Amino acid sequence: MTTHVEQPPVEKQTPSDSDFPVPRTESQGGFEAPDINAFGNTFRDYNAESERQKTVEEFYRMNHINQSYDYVMKMREEYEKLDKTEMTVWECCVLLNDVVDESDPDLDEPQIEHLLQTAEAIRKDYPNEDWLHLTALIHDLGKVLHLPTFGSLPQWAVVGDTFPVGCAFDESIVHHKYFKDNPDINNPAYNTKNGIYEEGCGLDKVVMSWGHDDYMYMVARKNGSTLPSPALFIIRFHSFYPLHKAGAYTHLMNDEDRENLNWLKIFNKYDLYSKSKIRVDVEQLKPYYLSLIDKYFPAKLRW
C-alpha cells in the first residue's frame, strides 16, 4: 500500500539578489556515498571487465570521433529553434522512461528512477534549497534527444561525459585515445591549449560537445525559467567530468563559474552515488515536484 505524504504547495516567485543561493561545500549530513555500484564495481570504472563495459567503450569511440566543432555548431543551430514539440516538464520526465543510456556503467534503471533518486537524496540533505531539488529532477531531461520526435539522435550525440571543442582535448577525458580520429585533432586552430578561446573567458563562451546538458540548458533558458544561476550551471555542465572531477580546463573559467562550480560539486555526489536498484514511489512524490515545476517554469515549454 502506498501512503501519500501531504506536501505543502510552494509559492511562485522570481529570484532576487537576496535569495540567490550561497554556495556551501559542507554536506548537511545524511547521504553516504556507497563504495560500489549496482553491478558490484566501483563507480565510473570505465575499465571494469563486463558486458556493459564493451557497450560503454564503443559509445565513447563513436562520441570522440564525431564530436567536432563544426558538428556542435550545426546541432546548436538546429535545436535552438525549439520547434520539435510542446510539453510540460513532467510530461518530459515520463517520456524519458523510454530512453536507455548506453554511456553509463552504473545504471540500467528507467531514467525517471534516476531523476527522482537524485532529487530525493539531495532534498534530504538540503531541505531548504527547493531549486536544487528541481534541478536534480530535470538535469537529464535533455536525453529525450534520442527519441524520434527530437530527431532520434544517436547515443554519442546525447549522453556521456562532455568536453570543450575548439581547443585541445584534455588527457583526463574518458577513453581519450579515440580522439585520434576526430577531424579537429589535426586542425591548428583547435588543437592548442586555448584554441579559439581566451584564458578566463568564462564557460558561457565555451562550446561544449553536443548532448543532453546543453540542450536542456537551452530549453530552460529560452522558455524563461526562473531557476538561479547555479541551477542553470549544473544543468549545463553536470557531464563535464574533466572539469568537476579532474580539474582540467579551469583556465577557461571566470569568477561566476568558480562560485557555481561549488554547487556543481555538491550536486555531482548525488547524481553519481544515488544510482541504485532501490525503486522510488513516483506517484507519491509527484505532487511535490509538480509544485516546484510550477514555481520555476511556465506550464508548457517549447522543446
Ligand X SMILES: O[C@H]1[C@H](O)[C@@H](O)[C@H](O)[C@@H](O)[C@H]1O
The partner in contact with residue 104, picked from Fe ion, ligand X, none with C-beta cut-offs of 5 to 8 angstroms by kind, is ligand X
Site string for ligand X, 167-206 (x = CB under 6 A): ----------------------------------------
The partner in contact with residue 129, picked from Fe ion, ligand X, none with C-beta cut-offs of 5 to 8 angstroms by kind, is none
* Cβ distance to ligand X smaller for residue 237 or 303: 237
Instruction: With contacts defined by CB under 6 A, name the span among 7-15, 126-134, 159-167, 248-256 that binds ligand X.
Output: 159-167
Q: Copy the grid coordinates of residue 300.
A: 508548457
Which of 104, 140, 161, 184 touches Fe ion by CB under 5 A? 140
* Cβ neighbours of residue 146 closer than 8 Å, sequence gap 6 or more: 99, 152, 153, 154, 155, 158, 159
How many residues line the site for ligand X (CB under 6 A)?
10
114 is in an annotated binding site: yes
* Cβ distance to ligand X smaller for residue 101 or 129: 101
CA 104 to chain centre: 13
* Cβ distance to ligand X smaller for residue 126 or 241: 241
The partner in contact with residue 101, picked from ligand X, Fe ion, none with C-beta cut-offs of 5 to 8 angstroms by kind, is ligand X
Give the span between the Cα atoms of 153 and 263, in whole angstroms: 30
140 is a contact residue toward ligand X (CB under 6 A): yes
Which of 271, 274, 295, 303 touches Fe ion by CB under 5 A? 271
202 is in an annotated binding site: no
List C-alpha distances in Å: 293 to 21, 118, 122, 123, 148. Answer: 18, 16, 17, 15, 25
Per CB under 6 A, which of residues 12..41 are in contact with ligand X? none
161 is in an annotated binding site: yes
Q: Copy the grid coordinates of residue 51.
A: 558486458
Per CB under 6 A, which of residues 91..110 are in contact with ligand X? 101, 103-104
Reference 217, options 76, 115, 15; nearest CA is 76
CA 126 to chain centre: 19
214 is a contact residue toward Fe ion (CB under 5 A): no
Give the chain's end-to-end CA distance (angstroms, integer): 37
Per CB under 6 A, which of residues 223..252 are in contact with ligand X? 238-239, 241
166 is a contact residue toward ligand X (CB under 6 A): no
* Cβ distance to Fe ion smaller for residue 140 or 184: 140
216 is a contact residue toward ligand X (CB under 6 A): no
Binding residues for substrate: 44, 101-103, 143, 160-161, 238-239
- Binding residues (CB under 6 A) for ligand X: these are 101, 103-104, 140, 159-161, 238-239, 241
Binding residues: 44, 101-103, 114, 139-140, 143, 160-161, 212, 238-239, 271
- Binding residues (CB under 5 A) for Fe ion: these are 140, 271
